[in-house]
Structure 1
């Protein structure tokens, strides 16, 4: 009997843990800013490079049945206040949300390789 696709999915906690470990092993810095639902919480990546914001990305399902990272939230040029407001609004509407900060070159690509 074939295992269903739902049973084959990795939990959010496992994906976040893998991302943090892989980032640290590659010489970058990763920190879980907000811990969400261990099983199926949405994952947001706050990407930085050498301490400078490079964007906010959300892990979303795609039409092929897999996952991708999609840019979301305000532009880094909008400043830290805009980011804080966006994150606070998202947390109010989704208390199961994970937020992970990655400071590594090409953080978006690095995260996509790990969790998508």
Structure 2
């Protein structure tokens, strides 16, 4: 059984908070089925990256859909994704080590 998007996002925010970092919902999408983008800012290096859930065969993993670390380019890419999919969620995480706090496999 899959979790609804709002419940999944709430769990992610909770993990971030418990680790002493900061996260917020930059954009709310569809509560039940909205896709989720996770934007991470490393507070030490100021590098930023975005992760998106993807299917690899039958497995689900998170990957970087865009390789740039320039925050303006990432924000422009996110804006294009929102225009394409208005149900999308955007969660922004600020962490001193640049951690994403996802429990699912991540291909970085």
Same fold (TM over 0.5): yes
Q: Find the counterpart in structure 2 of residue 107 from structure 1.
A: 99
Alignment of 1:41-60 (within 5 A): 41-50=34-43, 52-60=46-54
**For the pair shown, which has the larger CA radius of gyration, 1 or 2?**
1
Instruction: Flag the structure with higher helix content.
Output: 1
Task: State the shift of 1:72 in Å.
Answer: 1.4
**Corresponding residue SS for 1:72:** coil
Query: Which of 86, 92, 98 is 2:83 aligned to?
Result: 92
Question: Structure 1: which 5+ residue stretches go unaligned?
Answer: 1-7
TM-score of the pair, normalised by structure 1: 0.78
1:85–1:106 CA distance, 2 compared to 1 (3 A): closer
Aligned-residue RMSD, C-alpha: 2.1
Task: State the shift of 1:88 in Å.
Answer: 1.2
Q: Find the counterpart in structure 1 of residue 56 from structure 2.
A: 62
Question: Structure 2: which 5+ residue stretches go unaligned?
Answer: none
1:54–1:85 CA distance, 2 compared to 1 (3 A): closer
Q: Find the counterpart in structure 2 of residue 16 from structure 1.
A: 9
Distance 1:48 1:71 in 2: 14
TM-score of the pair, normalised by structure 2: 0.83
Q: Find the counterpart in structure 2 of residue 39 from structure 1.
A: 32
Give every structure 1 segment of 4 or more consecutive aligned residues whose post-TM-superposition deviation is greater than 4 Å.
none
1:71 aligns with 2:64: yes
Check whether the contact 1:31–1:102 (CA below 8 A) recurs between aligned residues. yes
